[in-house]
Amino acid sequence: MFNSLMADKGTPGRPRYQRGDRVRFSFRNRETDEMEYLYGEVWIVDSYGTFFNDSEPSYDVYVVNENWPEGCLFKHIPESCIDTGLLG
């Protein structure tokens, strides 16, 4: 499933998601080095990407789950790592 997410890269200036959208994104856990999926809400849209990746839009996604009961903002998530499937 991770490869299918990475294959679909967005277009700068034309973001697929907007503030308030619920999304799922892939995330590599640094402690276990395993790929995980997190679910959250788009808070910020960087339509033209960021200074280190301007080839696709990126997003700041707010996640609340058992690991972050108070919430955690994940920044600069590339559009190619996001989808809306199987929302939690």
Report yes or no: 42 and 18 within 8 Å, Cβ to Cβ: yes
> What pLDDT score was predicted for residue 25?
94
pLDDT of 6 over the 90 cut: no
Q: Give the Cα separation of 45 and 68 in Å (integer).
A: 22
Q: Flag whether the pTM goes above 0.85.
A: no
Beta pairing class for 72-78 and 58-63: antiparallel
Domain 2-83 fold: SH3 type barrels. (2.30.30)
Q: Which residues of 54-63 are buried (b: 16+ CB within 10 A; e: fewer)?
A: eebbbbbbeb
How do the domains of the chain map onto residue ranges? 2-83
> What pLDDT score was predicted for residue 32?
92
What tens digit of pLDDT does each residue of 19-75 get? Answer: 999 999 988 888 999 998 999 999 999 998 888 888 899 999 999 999 889 999 999
7 confidence band (pLDDT: 50, 70, 90): very low
